[in-house]
Structure 1
Amino acid sequence: MKTTYSRTESVWQRMNNNEKKAVMAYGEKYKAFLDKARTERQSVNFIIEAAEKNGFKPLYDMKALHEGDKVYWNQKGKSVILAVIGKEPVKAGLKIVGSHIDAPRLDLKGNPVHEQDGLVYFRTHYYGGIKKYQWPCIPLALCGVIYTQKGKKIEVNIGMDENDPVFYITDLLIHMAQDQMKKTMAEGVTGEQLQAIIGSHAGKQEKVKDAILTLLKKTYGITEEDFTTAELELVPAMKSRDVGFDRSLIAAYGQDDRVCSYANLEALLAAKPGNKTQVALFTDKEEIGSYGNTGMMSSYFVKFVMKMLALQGSGALLDFYETMEKSEMLSGDVNSCLDPMFPEVTEKDNSSLCGYGLALTKYTGARGKAGSNDANSEFIQKVRQIFNDGGVAWQIGELGKVDQGGGGTIAFMMADWGCEVVDCGTAMLSMHSPYDLLSKADAYETYLGYKVFFESN
């Protein structure tokens, strides 16, 4: 068994050849997921399809729950929960891994189409924390749903196929950017300038906007009014790629937090049934505070657990709280790792390192740990022992230097119900960019860590 904790040897240096082959095979499957699941809706579709192939059924179709039953909960097509019922009753506590499936992007405004000087644009409003200057000059795909006036739902996915057109946000050429270059990086590109070109061609007697709207009507059956009720997202159209001569890293859009979400899915499907009920949670809206009825601030997780309890004869609210107090959770979200090109923002000895394993993070938050869960030592020790016994390579990592920045996860929300929670996910570089970077070894160890956690007592 490889050494599980080290800050001097990378995971690659600790692995044997068979383990390295497993890492590379996992990386191929993970990249396929990334290229198919560009949005939270697409992620839910992927997860449910995989779950149903493995015998999962909607919880609402169940009349009772017994050991070994596999169930799922679809929350409005944008969040999903999977569960495998354990030997012990649900009220004895749950083994939970929670991750999120939304990612920073550009959402279309309600009235997005407009023409200016011969070019037609989509107006957008960015979602989540982004560096706005990173989004011009890259190919963008349009994904989401739009409803016609008659209520017909149209699934939109334009730009990921090699034969599809893409969309594009312009930037100034360097020869004319003297004033722009004097601005701060935060001011160089404004939110209102994040408008994507969608066309430029028209007949002699029509405006370009009218020509584009006619094309949309003819091709997709969409009118301009239909955009007012649509949920459409512009996401990077670049597919995931191996990075480095040794192919040891992956660059892709949306790896925060789909690296943990894919590991969560694969771990639950591969885990041996345990004494406790195993729960894989995939939630929406984390990047904007977990609000809305598909985010963790809503009640859908409570309802899911109470429904399971009711199917086993325990449906009171008190039963829910007592269940959660006996539950344990890994909050599966990514962490930053030391970037040798920007070392000044991290404190090396307490920063995650790329390629050194799954990252355990006792606390997140900002300044004096504001907004943090701050996990209990007793639970961290238990998780450490689970990883060591299971041969999982792990490390610790804070989110930057003290007072440098900060961030948050869903950990504190789950802890509010009395659950033992610690943040535990993959460390990555260039987080929240259109093309994140991480180690294949770290992604694989994340999967292994979640799997042995599900299987533990």
Structure 2
Amino acid sequence: MKLNYEVKNGWEVARNNNNLENIFEYSKEYMNFLDNGKTERQCVKEIVAMAKQEGFISLEEAMLNNSIKPNQKIYAVNKVKGVALFVIGKKDIEEGMKIVGGHIDSPRLDLKANPLYEDTNLGMLKTHYYGGIKKYQWVTIPLAMHGVVALEDGSRVEISIGDEEGDPVFCITDLLPHLSADQNAKKMNEGIAGEDLNVLVGNIPDKNQESDKVKYTILKLLNEKYNMIEEDFLSAEIEIVPAGKSRDLGIDRSMILSYGHDDKVCSFAGVKAIFDIEKPEYTACVLCVDKEEVGSDGNTGMKSKFFENVVAELINLQGNYVELKLKRAFANSRVLSADVTAGYDPNFASVYEKNNSCIIGNGVALMKYTGSRGKSGSSDANSEFVAEMRQMFNREKIAWQTAELGKVDQGGGGTIAYILANYGAEVIDCGVGVLSMHAPHEVVSKVDIYEMYRAYKAFMQ
């Protein structure tokens, strides 16, 4: 009998399972999803399009039929910023669901309500950063602009500049080293202030204006292409994100360098996994939400009633709805909170406890708890549920490991796990390790993301 515990290398597991070719094919699909889904709205658009191809119908279509049946595939959209996918199980929903819940928002810069101004012949846009970022990482890199503008006449236009071939890009300037003595003396988190994250967007003056000539040129170009006027910025949602496509990383092409792995990487795995689910015993669900990076609040965050309301509608389509059925459905559910964790980085080894860190290339990671320091903000899965997941992963020969988010007193972070746990569901965090998390460009291993997809599929099936 083997008494010691040994984590297996994911690439060796994949080789033994003859999955190497599948890993690289899956990664191509994921990279395409990343390139087309820079924002949460774009992600929802991509997911819904994929779901329709897989035979999913909208909740509204299902409600017209006034009933649902086992193996029926349904999607529901939350204000174009979140989406839930369901494959109805043989058992009634009140007996519980198998839920994979992730988020599709990522750290970025949002334009302020009155963003456009001119200073010394330079057209600039004011921003307000979204989520936890290191501000100095966002200066001097190529940036793109994506979002929507609701015009005064009620119409809506989509803005996308910086990611197509031939597009211009934008940037935030930094101070030259010759004049940065004062800046260099500051702490790293003070070197670039939030109000200094102003995006450079133009330089040509309009010949017919007496003041704000560069600003007017920019407004004129926006009006010609999008029918915008300056006041329309007040009803716009425009995000500034890193420009460019995701790239293979490494001589062996074993990793992916891209913006937005946190947390599109887990949400995409859940979406791909539910497409493979057929005739499940319990209703399978993949939930992709917004606002996780800023606390999950608001009507598109996990704390909203969207998911609860959708499940209530589905229960009603299975028969007469009563609140007790809804409460039972959540309390009887099992949930994988699909979010990333910190990958062990040998360049910064001092902040990690190696025996309990996620090692890049060792597969998907189970995180019994997250939180900060004394487990603050964590749901902390019970040992029975951990054992259940452990047995399933071993049975399916999935490469997996356990993880914590660095040393106890170094900081920490949270996920949406506690929100669903508050309903009484069994919940555990399950995702992949990321290097350079929350940076404009993050790193994941291709084998890890494929093993995560396999883990989600096994869980829901």
Instruction: Tell me the alpha carbon deviations over residues 288-325 of structure 1, each in whole angstroms, 9 at most, x when there is no partner.
Output: 00000000111111101111111111422221111111
- Distance in 1 (alpha carbons) for counterparts of 2:184 and 2:110: 27
- Distance in 1 (alpha carbons) for counterparts of 2:15 and 2:441: 30
> Which of 189, 208, 218 pairs up with 2:192?
189
SS at 1:156's partner residue? strand
Runs of 5+ in structure 2 lacking a partner? none
Check the 8 A contact 2:291/2:298 in 1, yes or no: yes
Counterpart AA for 1:11:
G
Instruction: Tell me the alpha carbon deviations over residues 322-376 of structure 1, each in whole angstroms, 9 at most, x when there is no partner.
Output: 1111110000000001100000111000001000000000000011101101001
What is the TM-score of this pair, normalised by structure 1? 0.97
More deviation, 36-45/383-392: 383-392
In the alignment, which residue of structure 2 is the partner of 1:131? Answer: 134
Give the C-alpha shift of residue 6 in structure 1: 4.1
Check the 8 A contact 1:6/1:395 in 2, yes or no: no
Counterpart AA for 1:236:
P
* Total equivalences in the alignment: 450
- Distance in 1 (alpha carbons) for counterparts of 2:386 and 2:83: 27
Give the C-alpha shift of residue 238 in structure 1: 2.3
What is the TM-score of this pair, normalised by structure 2? 0.96
In the alignment, which residue of structure 1 is the partner of 2:33? Answer: 33
Identity %: 49
In the alignment, which residue of structure 2 is the partner of 1:119? Answer: 122
Q: Does residue 1:19 correspond to 2:19, yes or no?
A: yes
Check the 8 A contact 2:206/2:216 in 1, yes or no: no
Instruction: Tell me the alpha carbon deviations over residues 137-196 of structure 1, each in whole angstroms, 9 at most, x when there is no partner.
Output: 111111110022111100111111021111110001111111101101100000000010
- Distance in 2 (alpha carbons) for counterparts of 1:39 and 1:47: 12
Q: How does 1:56-455 map to 2 (within 5 A)?
A: 56-62=56-62, 63-206=66-209, 207-455=213-461
- Distance in 1 (alpha carbons) for counterparts of 2:146 and 2:69: 39
- Distance in 1 (alpha carbons) for counterparts of 2:12 and 2:55: 38
- Distance in 1 (alpha carbons) for counterparts of 2:165 and 2:181: 36
- Distance in 1 (alpha carbons) for counterparts of 2:80 and 2:102: 16
In the alignment, which residue of structure 1 is the partner of 2:42? Answer: 42
Runs of 5+ in structure 1 lacking a partner? none
Counterpart AA for 2:106:
A
Give the C-alpha shift of residue 202 in structure 1: 1.6
- Distance in 2 (alpha carbons) for counterparts of 1:325 and 1:23: 35
Give the C-alpha shift of residue 204 in structure 1: 3.4
Check the 8 A contact 1:271/1:452 in 2, yes or no: no
- Distance in 2 (alpha carbons) for counterparts of 1:14 and 1:380: 21
Instruction: Tell me the alpha carbon deviations over residues 83-108 of structure 1, each in whole angstroms, 9 at most, x when there is no partner.
Output: 00011111111000000000000000
- Distance in 1 (alpha carbons) for counterparts of 2:301 and 2:321: 23
Give the C-alpha shift of residue 273 in structure 1: 2.5
- Distance in 2 (alpha carbons) for counterparts of 1:290 and 1:262: 19
Instruction: Tell me the alpha carbon deviations over residues 177-225 of structure 1, each in whole angstroms, 9 at most, x when there is no partner.
Output: 1110110110000000001011111233431111111111112211000
SS at 1:374's partner residue? coil
SS at 2:148's partner residue? strand
Check the 8 A contact 1:283/1:296 in 2, yes or no: yes
- Distance in 2 (alpha carbons) for counterparts of 1:344 and 1:404: 10
CA pair 15-6 structure 1, distance change in 2 beyond 3 A:
farther
SS at 1:383's partner residue? helix
SS at 2:225's partner residue? helix
- Distance in 2 (alpha carbons) for counterparts of 1:217 and 1:203: 14
Counterpart AA for 2:88:
I
Instruction: Tell me the alpha carbon deviations over residues 51-93 of structure 1, each in whole angstroms, 9 at most, x when there is no partner.
Output: 0111111112221010111111100000000000011111111
- Distance in 2 (alpha carbons) for counterparts of 1:273 and 1:430: 39
SS at 1:47's partner residue? helix
Check the 8 A contact 1:11/1:355 in 2, yes or no: yes
Check the 8 A contact 2:219/2:229 in 1, yes or no: yes
Check the 8 A contact 1:371/1:408 in 2, yes or no: yes
Counterpart AA for 2:431:
G
Counterpart AA for 1:19:
N
- Distance in 2 (alpha carbons) for counterparts of 1:48 and 1:6: 40
SS at 1:16's partner residue? helix
Instruction: Tell me the alpha carbon deviations over residues 205-250 of structure 1, each in whole angstroms, 9 at most, x when there is no partner.
Output: 4311111111111122110000001001001012100111000000
- Distance in 2 (alpha carbons) for counterparts of 1:219 and 1:310: 46
Check the 8 A contact 2:74/2:86 in 1, yes or no: yes
In the alignment, which residue of structure 1 is the partner of 2:55? Answer: 55
Give the C-alpha shift of residue 12 in structure 1: 1.3
Counterpart AA for 1:12:
W
Check the 8 A contact 1:132/1:191 in 2, yes or no: yes
Check the 8 A contact 2:71/2:280 in 1, yes or no: no
Check the 8 A contact 2:92/2:318 in 1, yes or no: yes
Counterpart AA for 1:349:
N
More deviation, 215-224/288-297: 215-224
SS at 2:312's partner residue? helix
Counterpart AA for 2:47:
I
CA RMSD of aligned residues (A): 1.1
